[in-house]
Amino acid sequence: MIYALRPEARNRINSGFMTLFFLGGAAGAALASVVWSCAGWSGICVLGGSLAAGSFVLWVLERVRVRAR
């Protein structure tokens, strides 16, 4: 779907995606290590649940915005 927007820019789009994917993973690992040292396993569970819930809320808001068009 993203590649269809600009077929001539596939390499740049893929490079940007992979860079953001790596940065997100690195930020998640750093955040998890901080939470682990402060709150242990229960903190990690709360962090994971919070991130999942936040992603779900963003998804719902996007769906609502698309339907409003």
pLDDT at 6: 82
d(CA 11, CA 7): 9
Q: How far is CA 40 from CA 17, 25, 52, 61, 68, in A?
A: 31, 20, 19, 32, 42
Render pLDDT for 3-55 as a digit per residue (tens, 0 to 9). Answer: 777 888 888 988 999 999 999 999 999 999 999 999 999 999 999 999 999 99
Q: How far is CA 39 from CA 6, 30, 36, 48, 65, in A?
A: 45, 14, 5, 13, 37
- 68 contacts 61 by C-beta, under 8 angstroms: no
- Give the global pTM: 0.74
